[in-house]
């Protein structure tokens, strides 16, 4: 099931992630956002089959004005 765009997308940093992240070259956490044809964010942080399923649903929706 999709995570809505209103949900938190990243955990709060801990002292360990703040210290370790720069040492191993991590600058950001990967994230995905799906937008519909009207530009509304419909889902976030999907991976694999869940991402494919949500993209398929969005592609089945009619274009605006039709």
- Of the candidates 63, 9, 3, the one whose C-alpha atom is nearest the C-alpha of residue 36 is 63
Enter the pTM of the model.
0.56
Q: What is the mean pLDDT of the chain?
A: 74
Question: What does the alpha-carbon distance between residue 52 and residue 62 come to, in Å, rounded to a whole number?
Answer: 18
For 11-39, the DSSP string reads: PPP-HHHHHHHHHTT-------EEE-TTS
Q: Is the per-residue pLDDT at 7 higher than 50?
A: no
Q: What is the pLDDT of residue 26?
A: 60
Parallel, antiparallel, or unpaired: how do β-strands 33-35 and 41-44 relate? antiparallel
Per-residue model confidence as pLDDT tens digits over 25-56: 666 667 788 888 888 888 888 889 999 999 99
């Amino acid at each position: 099931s999709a995570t809505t765009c209103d949900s938190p997308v990243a955990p709060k940093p801990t002292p360990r992630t703040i210290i370790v992240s720069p040492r191993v070259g991590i600058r950001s956490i990967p994230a995905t956002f799906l937008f519909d044809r009207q530009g509304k964010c419909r889902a976030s942080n999907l991976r694999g089959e869940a991402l494919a399923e949500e993209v398929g649903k969005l592609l089945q929706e009619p274009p605006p004005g039709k």
